[in-house]
Amino acid sequence: MKRREEFNRNLCLSLLVFFVVMVLSMTSCVDDIDSQSSEDPFGAGIIGIESNPDSLFGNANGTSEIEVNTEVFPDGSSVEFEITGSSTGISSSARTHGLPTFLRGCLIESDSTLSNGGKAFATYLAGINIASGALLASENPPIETVNVAVSITPPNGDRESDFVSVILNPVGIIPPEDIEVETRPGGDPLSTFVTLEFITIGIPPGTVVNFSLSRPDLGVLNPTSAPVVGSEEVGSVTTQYTTFNNTGGTQVIIASLVLPNPFDRYPSRCPDVPESDRRVEEQVVITQTVPEPTPAPTPSP
């Protein structure tokens, strides 16, 4: 009986030592990650960090609420939110280097301390992810992810960190297919015209799209600008091209828009993005041909 009691005592002591070593090892790993200022910090003390919604369009317009909810750290603990990284693709096997820093978006509001039972909030303004019409229409449009990290430091000074990823879906314009048209003969009271519908992806309704053409000597556009109609997910914008009679050549019609600059709305919190990095532009090519001249009637013998 004494040997059994001694065995049980030694077993309990061994298990206690094992668990103490495991806890110290986990704490050491977390401290190492925090101390190295990694792009994607991780800590075991944060109960939950969520983004709502967790997916936005990369149009510098939508926002996501980042919520930290923890019962581990006391109210009054300092909180710091930060955009720490970006990658292309949403699966670990497909991820590559993502958006440059100035296109990742920004945090326009954030709490500095925990309150209401260990909660804190930040508001993320979407970054910019523009894709070509060909990629938007493909089976694998380029999806980007942006990581928002939070670091909490309680009064005892033991800092821990965690992060959440927000998906940035690509935005842009899908042009109509290139076409060929035959103009009408000179002197004809009617003219050949085509209606051109451009599909928009991730562009808020009401956004103005401008139209221009490369050869004003071949025809005219009406209108030269129009708002996007439909939804943000899939919208459209339309113009009409009318050819000049008896003219031939290649006409390039361009549809373009410029996404908003986050710096204009939040200069103290957001980067100043050049217009060239906010411009969305696609084109359609129209090949005009001149009608064959009507042969003169053969005189009677």
Q: pLDDT over 70 for what percent of the chain?
A: 79
Cβ atoms 283, 212 nearer than 8 A: no
The C-alpha atoms of residue 44 and residue 105 are separated, in whole angstroms, by 27
Fold observed for domain 40-169 = Immunoglobulin-like (2.60.40)
Structure tokens at 170: 């690509």
pLDDT at 71: 77
pLDDT at 220 over 60: yes
pLDDT one-digit tens code per residue, 227-284: 999 999 999 999 999 999 999 999 999 999 999 999 999 999 999 999 999 999 999 9
Residues found in the chain: 301
Q: Which residues neighbour 282 within 8 Å (Cβ) at sequence distance 6 or greater? A: 132, 133, 172, 173, 174, 175, 198, 254, 255, 256
- In the chain, list all ranges with CATH 2.60.40.10: 40-169, 172-289
Residues 101-155: tens digit of each pLDDT: 999 999 999 999 999 988 999 999 999 999 999 999 999 999 999 999 999 998 8
Max Cα–Cα distance, the chain, nearest Å: 139
Question: How many whole angstroms separate alpha carbon 80 and alpha carbon 34?
Answer: 13
Find out whether 122 and 111 touch, Cβ atoms under 8 Å. yes
DSSP assignment of 220-260:
EEE-SEEE-EE-SSSEEEEEEEEEPTT--EEEEEEEEEE--
- Residue 12 main-chain phi, psi, to 5 deg: -65, -40
The residues, ordered by sequence, that sit 6+ positions from 47 with a Cβ below 8 Å of its Cβ are 69, 70, 71, 72, 118
CA distance 285 to 74: 63
> Looking at per-residue confidence, does 39 or 285 come out higher?
285
Measured in degrees and rounded to the nearest 5, phi and psi for residue 152 equal -120, 130
List, for residues 57-111, the tens digit of each pLDDT value: 999 999 999 999 887 888 999 999 999 988 876 544 444 568 999 999 999 999 9
Q: CATH fold of 172-289, please?
A: Immunoglobulin-like (2.60.40)
